[in-house]
Amino acid sequence: MLTLGQIAEHIGGVVKGDEAFQVDSVGTLQSAKTNQLSFLSNTKYKKYLATTRAGVVIVNKKMQADVPHHAIVVDDPYVAYAKAASLLNPVKQHQAGIHNGASVSPDSLVHPSVSVGAQAVIEAGVELAENVIVGPGCIVQNNVKVGTSTRLIANVTLCDGVQIGKRVLIHPGVVIGADGFGIANDDGTWIKVPQLGSVRVGNDVEIGANTTIDRGALDDTVIGNGVKLDNQIQIGHNVVIGENTVIAGCAGVAGSTRIGKNCVIGGAVNLAGHIEIADGVQLTGGTGVTKTITESGVYSSGMPAEPNQQWRRNIIRYRQLDKLVERVKQLEIHNK
């Protein structure tokens, strides 16, 4: 249990109500109970504020008068909620040690504080720093280096020579350092191009379930500090992702593309290879990028969903664009 005052101090908010009031968990405005904390960051959900049973609601200044119970007033409710939820749900502490069912090479360097789960494999030359957690079924191949307080949740594969920074969170099914898709055509026959680089992941990165990051062909694939990758993302060989960029699920980044810092890339975005994306670019969901983007801003492509009959009519018109353009040209010539 934490008091309202303790939470407010942690998130930098101002209390409206009794600072001694206690909560033990979080919930939505619709379902929270009196012992729970909630938040309102999207005005779409304001309609639930008057009837919520949440004991505490995190809001901004404009909404504080509408909270029926206790409130914590902040500038950014969503960021404040993230901090409060983390405070109420601390990371589970793992007991140091190596499970009897794990396989750890005697030629690896494993800090005494490391936890290695059942069926995990740690190969020769691996270095696991202080407080690293290697969950069940993980495979850490030769000469991999993993930084302090990094967590491999379960069934993660780190291939030969990969380097992982500090405080990285890697979810189940992630594969880092598999061969990139390098092939050369020799008179109709495809020949594999050796992938001789590695992958370097910075500090404070999160990598979602079943995401794959290929090793470089010659130079390394690089994931910068603070990058957040959602589930089921494909990162090709020699890609460089700048610091604090976030990428949503099912996106794909082809080889040798460079993404700048502080970019926001929506779900199912596809980026062609050998292009560059400037710092601060936002790509909305489903966007296809085939050329370099040199200026920050919001970019979109594709056709949004619409009723099927309307879509069919528009597709017919789209197919007639060449004829329409030619017709306009002829009309312009005729009118001169």
37/107 Cα distance (integer angstroms): 49
Give the distance, in angstroms, between the CA of residue 46 and the centroid of all CA atoms in the same chain.
28
With residue 308 as reference, give the H or E element that holds it: helix 308-319
22/70 Cα distance (integer angstroms): 10
Phi, psi of 200 (to 5 degrees): -120, 120
Sort 61 into a burial class: Cβ within 10 Å, 0-12 / 13-18 / 19+: exposed
Q: Which of 226, 235, 132 is nearest to 175 (CA)?
A: 235
Three-state DSSP state, 136 = coil
With residue 332 as reference, give the H or E element that holds it: helix 321-335
**Cα–Cα distances in Å, from 319 out to 26, 55, 305?**
52, 58, 18
**Cα–Cα distances in Å, from 63 out to 37, 55, 74, 77?**
16, 16, 10, 10
Phi, psi of 276 (to 5 degrees): -125, 140
Annotated active-site residue 237? The verdict is: yes
Residue 187: CB atoms within 10 A of its CB come to 4
90/111 Cα distance (integer angstroms): 23
Residue 90: CB atoms within 10 A of its CB come to 7
**Cα–Cα distances in Å, from 216 out to 26, 193, 208?**
42, 11, 20
What token pair was written down for 98? 């190596």
**Given 10, 111, 237, 334, the catalytic residue:** 237
What token pair was written down for 207? 């990598």
* Active site residues per annotation: 237
